[in-house]
Each structure stands twice: as C-alpha cells, then as structure tokens.
Amino acid sequence: MDYILHIIILASIYTSLAVSLDLLAGHAGILSISQAAFCGLGAYTSALLALRFGLSFLGGVLGGILTATLFSCLVSLPSTRLRGDYLIIATFAFQVILFNILNNWIELTRGPLGITDIPQPVILGLAVQSQAGFVALAAAFAGFTYFVVWRLAKSPFGRVLHAMREDQVLIQSFRKDANRFKVTAFAVSAALAAIAGSLYAHYVTYIDPTSFTVMESILILSMVIIGGPGSPWGPLVGAVVLVTLPEALRFIGLPSSVAANLRQIFYGALLVIMMMFRPRGLVGRYGFGR
C-alpha cells in the first residue's frame, strides 16, 4: 500500500513539474531543457534554509521560489536576444552549469554526498508525516500548479503567449513586448518547478545532485511532449504514463541496475515513436513547433 502511495506522490510531483514546463514548452512554444535545474534550486534552497536557519516548510518554499525566479532571469535574459535553437542551447547551458554548482560547491551543497535529514514539512502547526498526508499535500500542490497554469493560459497573458508561439513578429506588430512575456513565462515556470522541488526534498528527506541532471530535464520535457504540449490534460497524462509504466519492470524481477537502464530506454524509445507517429502527443490537439 505504501508503495502505491509512493508512486502516487511521485506522479503528483512530476505532474507539477510537467505542468510548469508546459507553460513554456506548450503555451509559449519555448523548448527548455532546464526544468530539473529549477526543481533542484527549489529543493536545495528550501532544504538548506530548513537545516541551516530552521525555517519552516512554507518559508523554505518561498525561498525556493525567490531563488528560482531570480535564476530564471539568467536564462530568460539571453532569451530576449535569441530565438529558436540558440535558446534551447542556452537553457541547456544553464542546466549544465547549475548541476556543476550543486555537484562542486561542496561547502554549500556537500556535493555528491547530498543533504540528509531534511525535516518533514510542518504546515500551520500540522506535521505531515504519513504517506497519506503526503499524497494529499502533493496532490494539492499539483492542483495548485494546474490551476495557475490553466488560469494563465486562459487569460489575456496566455493568449499573447499562444500568439507568440505561432508568430512572434505578428504580436510585436500589435505592440506587445514579446521579451516581457518571455521573461514572465520563464519566471512563473521556474517558480512552479521550485515548489515541486521543495516538496520533493521534504518528502524524500535526502537530496543529491544526481536527481537534477540533464537527463532528468529531458525526462520532464518528454512527459510534456509525450502527453501533449499545450493541452489541458497532456502533461498529467505524460507524467502518469512515464512514472507508472516503467514501474511494471519492478515486478518482472530484474536487478535494479538493469531496470534503471531499461526505464531510460523506454523513455527514449517512447519519445522517438511519438515523434514519428503522433507528434502532437497522446491527448494533445496540436503538434509542438510547426
């Protein structure tokens, strides 16, 4: 039972991450390979704030949001001058640099050893300790992320993002400042990813840099793309499919090292097959980046 709850919690956290990335990839049409980096920023900030300064869970989450938003400007700053494939490489570069900082700044992050004994969250005097409590918390966070992205997508702001995805010159001719919209979308997306990261850190109580690698960013992007970018249920479907289906490998009784590789092979192959035969995603309505 605990195992099933664990899977539900992981699926909820990945749903939050996929939905947050969908704001950029699906709605604004900006492929970003840096979502794991923002998630890691949130996780490390709230973990360090809790351990070094005894800050509460919500305080840590706020700290994570602030850090991620600040750092998102480092990526969106070039995005105002770059477009298309240059921008993808810029997000990619950010992801690599951030992983290097987490892995090498031993004094702050303890490097590959990771941070242990992260306290479990206490919200308004209520300690969340049981698995069931975490399911509720993670689902609430995923719901919150969904709500934010859904509201933004329906708002005039979202309509400008959609227009920008289709034709950037057109919206500039309507005197909309495309750069401002890009920077805002990046900041919101990073902040939402940071929340998911904080939750992850306080759930597993141990984080190390290997949870926030380039491959993890590619996995989150795959969830959005496989589910269906820019569609209401796409990121949810993608996250649930990519979290639960590989779990089936566990029941065949393979050694864990083989299972880890097979899981990755499954992600990769699924992404290729989807791109070849159904580029708009499982439940998506329109394909990414035409």
Binding site for other proteins (CB under 8 A): 31, 74, 77-78, 81-86, 88-90, 93-94, 96-97, 100-101, 103-104, 168-169, 214-215, 218, 221-222, 225, 258, 261-262, 264-265, 267-272, 275-276, 279, 287-290
- Decide: 9 and 2 in contact? Cβ < 8 Å: no
88 or 204: CB nearest other proteins: 88
Q: Shortest distance, CB of residue 153 to other proteins, whole angstroms?
A: 20
121 or 234: CB nearest other proteins: 234
Helix, strand, coil: what percent of the chain each, to 5? Answer: 75, 0, 20
- Which residues make Cβ contacts (< 8 Å) with residue 109, sequence separation at least 6? 44, 48, 101, 102, 103, 115, 209
3-state secondary structure of 115: strand
130 or 172: CB nearest other proteins: 172
Q: Shortest distance, CB of residue 225 to other proteins, whole angstroms?
A: 6
d(CA 276, CA 185): 29
Q: Shortest distance, CB of residue 169 to other proteins, whole angstroms?
A: 6
d(CA 92, CA 96): 6
3-state secondary structure of 122: strand
121 or 281: CB nearest other proteins: 281
Token match 């306290």: residue? 119
Q: Shortest distance, CB of residue 46 to other proteins, whole angstroms?
A: 23
Q: Shortest distance, CB of residue 27 to other proteins, whole angstroms?
A: 15
42 or 281: CB nearest other proteins: 281
3-state secondary structure of 126: strand
Q: Shortest distance, CB of residue 98 to other proteins, whole angstroms?
A: 9
CB neighbours (10 Å) of residue 100?
A: 11
187 or 221: CB nearest other proteins: 221
